[in-house]
């Protein structure tokens, strides 16, 4: 069996920073995972990058994970957490692991915390728990948004015969394979185009300038992990004025992916900046924040929004290509971020609402909550529930 050969270019292609961790990862993977394929090795490294805290105790991979977690600054006075913390609602507490609850209680003690909630599909993350919602005062937490900035769901509904999904299954499978790429470092040789790549924001900082070319090549790719593109049956039981589709059965194209290497590099860079500016107790160190009236915070906010729009563009490129192959425009598209921060109103003032693995659910807002693999997902419409900070779960199958 051939031994694994992995290069720095391979590792940087999945979003690893220009840092010693690349050489470390190359050495450890070639020594301890030498019989793995390149795709298998890159998937492992991608999983570590997405959730480094989950690998800290691993005897081999923990060395890589430790390098990916931003280090707190040793300088300056440590910022104290509040003793009690804000109160927050927990939905489905009987099914939520203790680690996720502990992370949310820690976030609730931040001096910038205003409101919060924990969704029923919550599990441990690296900063905020996955499924955690936190509203803050004039501050954004890069690791509270997460590494895959703007990770989202996107659904196109086509008025096509559902029977074709079985009768022409090969056609539908090829359509997906021809119009996106899967894999951590995947990128197109001939890139697509979208207006987001022509924005001046890409020229505002050296970081974004350096990420522009790779973002172009990865436009319309899907990444790895739990990201997917699939066809399925969309059942609309009754007409809804917001959804705008008559009751009936349709073919749907559903995709789940985020901002690829662009978002990962933005997240890692500004989390390190936040930790240098604000030193927190070790249990809260990944929750270091940037204020929106300081240069670093303004830079991150602009970069985060760019990454969110880029994630949306990736989905639209895929869906547009598929629509052309099908020869139909969709009746409706529904999409929503679930790793992002928004400016919203809370009790008469503006706050920053972080949703890490949580679906926006303001009154009348449409969203998609997918199920586990091969299980149904749901098109949802928000009720504007205050107890959940206008949020819902981002997975229906946990």
pLDDT score recorded for residue 69 = 79
pLDDT score recorded for residue 330 = 98
Strand partners, 350: 345
pLDDT score recorded for residue 1 = 61
Low-confidence ranges of the chain (pLDDT < 50): 74
Instruction: Give the span between the Cα atoms of 186 and 26, in whole angstroms.
Output: 18
Pairing of strands 89-90, 113-123: parallel
CATH of 152-393 among 3.40.50.720, 3.40.91.50, 3.90.1860.10, 2.60.40.1930: 3.90.1860.10
pLDDT score recorded for residue 67 = 85
As a whole number of Å, the CA-based R_g of the chain is 21
pLDDT, tens digit (0-9, with 9 covering 90-100), for 172-215: 999 999 999 888 777 887 778 999 999 999 999 999 999 999 99
pLDDT score recorded for residue 72 = 52
pLDDT score recorded for residue 74 = 44
pLDDT, tens digit (0-9, with 9 covering 90-100), for 292-337: 999 999 999 999 999 999 999 999 999 999 999 999 999 999 999 9
Q: Which residues contact 8 (CB under 8 A, 6 or more apart)?
A: 22, 23, 26
Instruction: Give the span between the Cα atoms of 278 and 289, in whole angstroms.
Output: 7
Give the pTM: 0.81
Domain boundaries, the chain: 8-68, 152-393
């Amino acid at each position: 069996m051939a031994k694994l050969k992995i290069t720095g270019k391979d590792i940087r292609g999945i979003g690893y920073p220009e840092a010693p961790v690349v050489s470390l990862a190359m050495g450890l993977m070639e020594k301890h995972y030498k019989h793995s394929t390149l795709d298998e090795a890159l998937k492992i490294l991608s999983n570590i990058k997405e959730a480094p805290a989950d690998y800290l105790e691993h005897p081999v991979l923990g060395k890589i994970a430790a390098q990916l977690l931003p280090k707190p600054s040793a300088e300056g006075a440590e910022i104290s957490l509040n003793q009690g913390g804000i109160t927050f609602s927990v939905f489905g507490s009987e099914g939520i692991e203790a680690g996720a609850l502990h992370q949310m209680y820690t976030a609730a003690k931040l001096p910038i915390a205003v409101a919060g909630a924990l969704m029923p599909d919550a599990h441990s993350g690296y900063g905020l728990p996955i499924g955690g919602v936190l509203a803050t005062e004039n501050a954004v937490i890069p690791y509270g948004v997460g590494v895959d900035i703007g990770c989202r769901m996107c659904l196109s509904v086509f008025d096509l015969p559902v029977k074709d999904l079985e009768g022409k299954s090969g056609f539908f499978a090829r359509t997906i394979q021809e119009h996106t790429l899967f894999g951590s470092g995947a990128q197109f040789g001939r890139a697509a185009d979208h207006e987001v790549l022509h924005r001046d924001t890409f020229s505002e900082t050296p970081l974004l300038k350096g990420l522009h070319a790779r973002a172009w090549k990865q436009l319309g790719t899907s990444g790895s992990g739990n990201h997917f593109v699939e066809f399925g049956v969309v059942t609309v039981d009754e007409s809804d004025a917001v959804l705008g589709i008559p009751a009936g059965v349709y073919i749907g194209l559903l995709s789940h992916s985020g901002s690829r290497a662009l978002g990962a590099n933005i997240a890692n860079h500004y989390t390190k900046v936040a930790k240098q500016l604000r030193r927190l107790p070790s249990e809260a160190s990944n929750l270091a924040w940037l204020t929106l009236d300081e240069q670093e915070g303004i830079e991150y906010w602009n970069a985060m929004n760019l990454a969110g729009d880029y994630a949306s563009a990736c989905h639209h490129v895929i869906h547009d290509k598929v629509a052309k192959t099908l020869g139909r425009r969709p009746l409706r598209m529904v999409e929503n971020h679930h790793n992002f921060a928004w400016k919203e109103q809370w009790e008469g003032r503006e706050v920053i609402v972080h949703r890490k693995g949580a679906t926006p659910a303001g009154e009348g807002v449409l969203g998609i909550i997918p199920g586990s693999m091969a299980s149904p997902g749901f098109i949802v419409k928000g009720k504007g529930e205050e107890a959940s900070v206008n949020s819902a779960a981002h997975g229906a199958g946990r």
